[in-house]
Amino acid sequence: MPTHREPALRVAGLRKAFGDHVAADDIQLTVPAGSCYGLVGPNGAGKTTTLAMAVGLLRPDAGRAEIFGVDVWSDPVRAKGLIGVLPDGNAMPERLTGREVLTYLGLLRGLPHEVVAERTGDLLQVLELDAAERTLVIEYSTGMRKKIGLAVALLHAPRLLVLDEPFEAVDPVSAATIRAILRGFIGGGGSVIISSHVMPLVEQICDHVGVISDGRVVAAGPLADVRGAATLEDTFVDLVGARPRATEGLAWLSS
Amino acid sequence: MAQLLTPDRAVTAPRPAALARHMVGMRLALMRNSLRGDNVTNLYTGAALGLILALGTIAVAVLWPVYLPLCLAVWLSGWIFGPLLIGGGSEALRPEYFSLLPVTPGRIAAALLAGAFAGPAPLITLIALLSLPVYGWRFGPGGVLIGLVAAVTTLVTLVMISRVIVATIGLFVRSRATAAAVGVVTGTAIALCSNGWAPLIALGGTDSAAWSHVLVRVLPSGWGVAAVEAPWPLAVAILVAAAGLIALLLTAWASLLSRRVVSAARGGVPPRRGAPRPFPAAGGARAAAAKELRTWWRDLVRIQLLVTAFSYAVVSPLLLVTIGAWMVVPFTGLIAIVMAAASSANLYGADGTALWLTLMTPGAERADVRGRQLAWLLVVGPAAVVLSLTGLLVSGQSWAWPWVLGLLPALLGGGAGVVVLLAVTSLVPGTDPHKRGGNPLSTGADESAETGLAWLVLITVPATALPAAGAVLLHPWAGLAVGVLTGALSAWGLGWIARRRLEKRGIELLNLMKHGPAPQPGKPATADLPLRHRIGVTICHTIAWLPLFPQGLVPLVMKIFGFEDPVWFLALHLPPLWQWPTIIFMIATGLLMYGYAFLIPMRLSSSSPATTTE
């Protein structure tokens, strides 16, 4: 039986290459139970690849991933029971309404029908998707897709939430709602790992942070240790290396 | 330098010629970039076949000029039905790409038209149309000149008609009724391709020659022939009329395109009324089946493909009735099952990356596979049973009862098994449903790969019914028991394999759909075969069914049952002494071609030195 002393997520030596391009190289991360962990990195750094390998959606070339001590690749069924996942950009059962998606997935997970109905109603209401009762998921806006994805991740009351860019394309009001949900979830003993580009947001809700650049972890640990005296944004730019500034280019844009 | 620092106030729209040139360049670049692996083979094979047909058309103009307008009508039908058959037409240059250019829709349409000509198909068609000046030679130098002009106008007309049809489908297929209508047209077209000779024979006779003579000249494809044959003033009038038709089509196309760009329908969702029916309170396979049934009812692509399958099944036996052959009518329902299986062969590919939810739900693979099977049976089964009984009763072919009753459960079970198995083992990745463009009938999948998958189903589903057929030969009513048994076994067993495969390799399937086929040194595609073999394999895949089924197995069955009407079966036209050897030769040829097409890639890939990588 996994206990709370086990970290919520531990990955070690994860590696994935697509052809010649190494998307993730020897990734080491530990997400303590009960923490909110922010995974940050520039575009194409390997955040999505890392999270996909950690939850069992992408087979790594090497390395291991454990969720509360359960190996994702040798005991996937138990591991998947413990996590709720919001992957980036994956399709859904597109021709169901939001309520139908949640009902279907709840029943598929073996939850009793009354529980499914109750939780579905709650989630749709809290995430403000209940107004679009007749809209199929394929007709949802980008922000609505994020929200129904989050509802799917929360439906079975997992112990670890793995959210890839949960705030992308979400309006400020909904973002506040999501932040409140996450705080409540962590307050109730849950653990969260999110990936994001938005540093102030990560600083606001996360207590641990990992920085990935070019497929490698360049810094990881409690937020205060990683950023030191500076802001996370400055630390991040220092860590991943400042790019050539664009101010001298695009001169024709200024009038 | 000074003007670089101020916003360009005098931005002028690109000139039409420049726009067209860029469009052609873009189309060629897209084609170059997509020419990898199997696509190269398909292009070469298609171009080679097309070239043969084009040269054949020129030969017709020289040797049998009477049939030239008919040949050109066939080219016209190719341009009309080609895009329908490959799912709404492949659109390399989508109008959506250019919706923000500061140019009028008419100019965009003209430029896109130029882009549409940058490809092998218009070039090959132009070669075929050179038959017009060749035919014109009989009427002197003037005839050649008119023929040349007519060749160009006819080419533009054909391409335009094709584009307008694609645009019309893209714009108007927004409801179940229109999707079903396209399905009926497509199914009828396929039926005409395979059995259209029957009504032609039925109409054949001296009196039909006159009207068909006129008809093939009235079609836009025949105007060139008419112009060549006509006196000067009339010829010029016809050519002017052709130019007018082109202008009309261009206007229509431009307005269709501009309406398409501003109308925001995504992924082909039919309109709905009222609240959706409540989801049934059941778990496992029944929940998955409920999801699938809703998808069947709400996806225009699935509706169109299913209607195509059923209308083919209904129309093609009826075409044979025109020559008094009722023997296929009882099998309408069985044909429907096989065609419906072929059209739903890419079940997992059509849903795209939604597979991640099944993979992330513990133990959901079984429910998903069984649910899809159940839904497929519910969608296809009742209609197939009704069609079978109707066909049996209407045709009055009492000998067919044991055959139909034995094969029906066998094929239904086999179809339910093969569909999920091949959907898992031979998935063809497409665009995720929510990312599809303004063309609701295009799934973004590689059409030739999807067609290959459909052919694989057309071969394997009937194969699952072979035991039942054998049992019927032994004793008429043994077939029913064997059919029920093998049907249940196929559905259960193949579904079981599919489920195991999904559990073991589901992640690879997901990433195949997300990122496309990964470069796997251990598993070379046909692309790694020497070009000679690649072309051979593709040709065999394309035409091996011809000797095996219509020219081999069908005359075999007809001979066994004593039908002596030779129709178009070569063997039955020969003296009795040669009939059996011909049938056996045809079957053997078909089997050899399939054997070559399947075994050569396997043999060459297993002898490849890179196999140890995995």
| Cα separations in angstroms, A54 against A26, A47, B614 | 13, 10, 22
Instruction: For residue A95, give how far its alpha carbon lies from the nearest alpha carbon of chain B (Å).
Output: 5
Please list the residues that pair with A213 across neighbouring strands. A216
Domain range for B216 is 18-262
In a domain, B277, yes or no: no
Q: CB under 8 Å to A57, separation ≥6 — which residues?
A: A85, A87, B356, B359, B360, B507, B510
In a domain, B7, yes or no: no
Interface probe, candidates A108, A109, A119, chain B, greatest B C-beta count within 10 A: A108
Q: CB under 8 Å to B261, separation ≥6 — which residues?
A: B95, B96, B99, B438
Tell which of B485, B518, B551 closes a domain: B518
Interface probe, candidates A74, A107, A115, A141, chain B, greatest B C-beta count within 10 A: A107
Contact A94 B351 (CB under 8 A): yes
Whole-number pLDDT of residue A89 = 77
Question: Which among B266, B275, B361 has the least Cβ separation from residue A105?
Answer: B361
Instruction: For residue B520, give how far its alpha carbon lies from the nearest alpha carbon of chain A (Å).
Output: 9
Chain A residue with CA closest to B360: the answer is A80
- Whether residue B445 sits in one domain with residue B341: yes
- Whether residue B526 sits in one domain with residue B575: yes
CA gap B352, B445 in Å, rounded: 10
Cα angle at B231 between B225 and B236, to 5 degrees? 75
Whole-number pLDDT of residue B173 = 75
B271's tokens:
């309109």
| Residue A136 Rama label (left phi>0; alpha psi -120 to 50; beta) | beta
- Side chain identity at B35, as an amino acid letter? L
Q: Are strands A160-164 and A83-86 parallel, antiparallel or unpaired?
A: parallel
Question: Which among B294, B359, B508 has the least Cβ separation from residue A95?
Answer: B294
B523's tokens:
């598993």
Q: How many residues does chain A have?
A: 255
CA gap B197, B176 in Å, rounded: 31
- Whether residue B528 sits in one domain with residue B485: no
Q: Report the largest interatomic distance among the alpha carbons of chain B, rounded to a whole angstrom.
A: 94
Whole-number pLDDT of residue B594 = 80
Residues of A in contact with B4 (CB under 8 A): 251-252
Q: CB under 8 Å to B495, separation ≥6 — which residues?
A: B369, B370, B373, B416, B417, B420, B421
In a domain, B9, yes or no: no
CA gap A243, B315 in Å, rounded: 66
Whole-number pLDDT of residue B333 = 92
Whole-number pLDDT of residue B521 = 44
- Whether residue B503 sits in one domain with residue B483: yes
Question: Which among A89, A103, A254 has the least Cβ separation from residue B279?
Answer: A103
Full 3-state SS string of chain A: CCCCCCCCEEEEEEEEEECCEEEEEEEEEEECCCCEEEEECCCCCCHHHHHHHHHCCCCCCEEEEEECCEECCCCHHHHHHHEEEECCCCCCCCCCEHHHHHHHHHHHCCCCHHHHHHHHHHHHHHCCCCCCCCCEHHHCCHHHHHHHHHHHHHCCCCCEEEEECCCCCCCHHHHHHHHHHHHHHHHCCCEEEEEECCHHHHHHHCCEEEEEECCEEEEEEEHHHHHCCCCHHHHHHHHHCCCCCCCCCCHHHCC
DSSP summary character for residue B529: S
B291's tokens:
């999801």
Q: Is the distance from CB of B390 to CB of B329 less than 8 angstroms?
A: no
Question: Which among B290, B294, B510 has the least Cβ separation from residue A57?
Answer: B510
B439's tokens:
């063309």
Q: Is the distance from CB of B410 to CB of B468 less than 8 angstroms?
A: yes
10 Å Cβ neighbour count for B193? 14
CA gap B83, B78 in Å, rounded: 9
- Whether residue B496 sits in one domain with residue B424: yes
- Whether residue B437 sits in one domain with residue B501: yes
Question: Which among A78, A94, A139 has the least Cβ separation from residue B354?
Answer: A94
**Cα dihedral B449, B451, B453, B459 sign:** negative
Whole-number pLDDT of residue A235 = 86
Contact A91 B434 (CB under 8 A): yes
CA gap A6, B237 in Å, rounded: 87
Q: Are strands A36-40 and A191-196 parallel, antiparallel or unpaired?
A: parallel
Question: Which among A87, A95, A139 has the least Cβ separation from residue B356?
Answer: A87
- Whether residue B595 sits in one domain with residue B527: yes
Question: Which among B352, B356, B515 has the least Cβ separation from residue A57?
Answer: B356
Q: What interhelical angle do B332-343 and B300-321 show, nearest 10?
A: 150
Interface probe, candidates B286, B291, B502, B614, chain A, greatest A C-beta count within 10 A: B291
**Sheet containing A70-71: which strands, arranged edge to edge?**
A21-31, A9-18, A62-67, A70-71
Find, among A125, A160, A140, the residue nearest to A33 by Cα: A160
Burial B139-178 (b: 16+ CB within 10 A, else e): beeebbebbebbbebbbbbbbbbbbbbbbbbbbbbbebeb
- Whether residue B297 sits in one domain with residue B258: no
Contact A108 B432 (CB under 8 A): no
Whole-number pLDDT of residue B563 = 67
Helices (H), B230-346: 232-262, 284-298, 300-321, 332-343
Residues of A in contact with B362 (CB under 8 A): 76-78, 80-81, 109
Question: Which among A93, A113, A253 has the least Cβ separation from residue B291?
Answer: A93
| Cα separations in angstroms, B23 against B29, B112, B157 | 10, 6, 19
Contact B363 A77 (CB under 8 A): yes
> Residue B385 burial by CB count (10 A; 0-12/13-18/19+): exposed, middle or buried?
middle
Residues of B in contact with A99 (CB under 8 A): 279
Whole-number pLDDT of residue A43 = 82
Find, among B177, B198, B180, the residue nearest to B317 by Cα: B198
Instruction: For residue A230, give how far its alpha carbon lies from the nearest alpha carbon of chain B (Å).
Output: 37
Chain A residue with CA closest to B267: the answer is A138
Chain A residue with CA closest to B298: the answer is A95
- Whether residue B50 sits in one domain with residue B163: yes
* Total domains present in chain B: 3
Instruction: For residue A55, give how far its alpha carbon lies from the nearest alpha carbon of chain B (Å).
Output: 8
Contact A96 B6 (CB under 8 A): no
Three-state secondary-structure class, residue B28: helix
- Chain mean position to CA B556: 28
- Side chain identity at B456, as an amino acid letter? L
Q: CB under 8 Å to B136, separation ≥6 — which residues?
A: B142, B143, B144, B145, B146, B147, B148, B228
Interface probe, candidates A51, A95, A104, A248, chain B, greatest B C-beta count within 10 A: A95
What ipTM did this prediction achieve?
0.84
- Whether residue B379 sits in one domain with residue B474: yes
Tell which of B518, B550, B570 closes a domain: B518
Q: Which CATH class is domain A9-89+159-242?
A: alpha beta
Full 3-state SS string of B355-386: HHHHHHCCCHHHHHHHHHHHHHHHHHHHHHHH
Tell which of B462, B491, B518 closes a domain: B518
Residues of B in contact with A96 (CB under 8 A): 291, 294-295
- Whether residue B464 sits in one domain with residue B325: yes
| Cα separations in angstroms, B482 against A97, B387, B412, B544 | 42, 22, 13, 29
Instruction: For residue A238, give how far its alpha carbon lies from the nearest alpha carbon of chain B (Å).
Output: 32
CA gap B52, B514 in Å, rounded: 39
Find, among A173, A160, A4, the residue nearest to A83 by Cα: A160
Whole-number pLDDT of residue B612 = 33
Chain B residue with CA closest to A49: the answer is B511
Please list the residues that pair with A24 across neighbouring strands. A16
How many contacts (CB atoms, under 8 Å) link A and B? 126
Contact A93 B507 (CB under 8 A): no
Instruction: For residue A141, give how far its alpha carbon lies from the nearest alpha carbon of chain B (Å).
Output: 10
Contact B291 A56 (CB under 8 A): no
CA gap B592, A62 in Å, rounded: 44
A74's tokens:
């040798």
> Residue A229 burial by CB count (10 A; 0-12/13-18/19+): exposed, middle or buried?
exposed
In a domain, B34, yes or no: yes
Block means of pLDDT (10 residues each) for chain B, 614 residues, are 49 72 80 65 75 88 84 83 58 70 77 80 88 88 89 90 80 80 84 72 59 74 85 89 91 80 60 72 86 88 89 89 82 91 85 87 90 94 94 86 90 93 84 68 64 79 87 85 92 93 88 69 50 75 77 77 68 78 84 79 52 32
CA gap B21, A98 in Å, rounded: 46
- Side chain identity at B80, as an amino acid letter? I
10 Å Cβ neighbour count for A242? 7
In a domain, B113, yes or no: yes
What DSSP string describes B30-92?
Answer: HHHHH--THHHHHHHHHHHHHHHHHHHHHHHHHH-GGGHHHHHHHHHHHHHHHHHHTTS---S
What's the start-to-end Cα distance of chain B, in Å?
58
- Whether residue B547 sits in one domain with residue B512: no
Question: Which among B4, B357, B367 has the least Cβ separation from residue A251?
Answer: B4
Whole-number pLDDT of residue B523 = 42
Long-range contacts of A165-173 (CB under 8 A, 24+ apart): A165/A88, A165/A194, A165/A195, A165/A196, A165/A197, A166/A86, A166/A194, A166/A196, A167/A196, A167/A198, A167/A201, A168/A88, A168/A142, A169/A141, A169/A142, A169/A143, A170/A143, A170/A146, A171/A143
